[in-house]
């Protein structure tokens, strides 16, 4: 955030940082334009400002351009680093990950292949061979051979050959009915049997309250 601060007039030391910046710019332009035409003044100023904007500050530890735009400016010195390309590839991979996983099919797998002819968009097919890391050659039931990318192929589950309608009812083995024994069950008198006494809950005694004893209807 840029905040304007007013100082006393004709007192340059009140704004020492701004005065030091002006002095540095003048000295840099004077050195870069020595022995050159006056037309290179704009080029010298642009080069100095670029160097000043990409130089990390001792207080913040970051350059003014990085603070302003949230990233480092790509300069010639950055391109000289041998790992610059790897860093950019790793950064892009982290920011833009590849969604999903690669589909892998084997020879003989039952699949659906994308059809670009009028009619059904997906045709039942079978993987014949692998033509690349993510490309396959499939064959449709009518004998047509197609080459499709893994994104244009979907896995297919084959239906069972015998449908449920042709299955017969399961055979239930005949069972012989058992004759119920109508005789009364014999009670076995065990000497170790104990008589369990069932206790009844105590009866509640009901009586009128004392303040109603003198009540005469």
CATH assignment of 109-155?
Answer: 2.30.30
pLDDT at position 47, please?
85
Q: Give the sheet arrangement for strand 135-139, strand by strand.
A: 145-149, 135-139, 122-130, 110-114, 153-155
pLDDT at position 111, please?
94
- Residues 6 or more apart in contact with residue 47 via CB below 8 angstroms: 32
Place of tokens 């369990």: 196
Sign of the dihedral through C-alpha 207, 210, 216, 217: negative
Domain boundaries, the chain: 14-33+40-95, 109-155
CA–CA distance, 58 with 50 (Å, rounded to integer): 17
CA–CA distance, 85 with 106 (Å, rounded to integer): 36
Q: Closest Cα partner for 113 from 102, 101, 124?
A: 124
Mean pLDDT by 10 residues, the chain (217 residues): 71 79 86 70 84 87 89 78 70 66 84 90 92 90 91 81 52 56 51 62 79 70
């Amino acid at each position: 955030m840029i905040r304007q601060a007013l100082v006393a007039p004709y007192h340059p030391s009140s704004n020492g940082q701004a005065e030091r910046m002006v002095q540095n710019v003048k000295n840099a332009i004077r050195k870069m334009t020595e022995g050159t035409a006056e037309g290179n003044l704009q080029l010298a100023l642009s080069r100095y400002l670029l160097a000043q904007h990409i130089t990390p500050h001792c207080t913040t530890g970051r350059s003014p351009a990085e603070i302003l735009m949230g990233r480092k400016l790509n300069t010639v010195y950055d391109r000289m680093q041998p790992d610059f390309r790897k860093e950019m590839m790793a950064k892009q991979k982290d920011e833009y990950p590849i969604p999903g996983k690669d589909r892998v099919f084997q020879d003989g797998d039952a699949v659906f292949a994308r059809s670009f002819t009028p009619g059904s968009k997906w045709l039942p097919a079978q993987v014949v061979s692998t033509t690349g890391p993510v490309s396959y050659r499939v064959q449709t039931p009518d004998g047509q051979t197609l080459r499709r990318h893994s994104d244009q192929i979907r896995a297919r589950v084959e239906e069972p050959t015998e449908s449920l309608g042709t299955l017969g009812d399961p055979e239930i083995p005949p069972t012989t009915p058992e004759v119920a024994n109508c005789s009364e069950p014999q009670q076995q008198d065990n000497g170790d049997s104990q008589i369990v006494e069932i206790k009844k809950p105590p009866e509640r005694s009901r009586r009128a309250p004392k303040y109603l004893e003198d009540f005469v209807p």
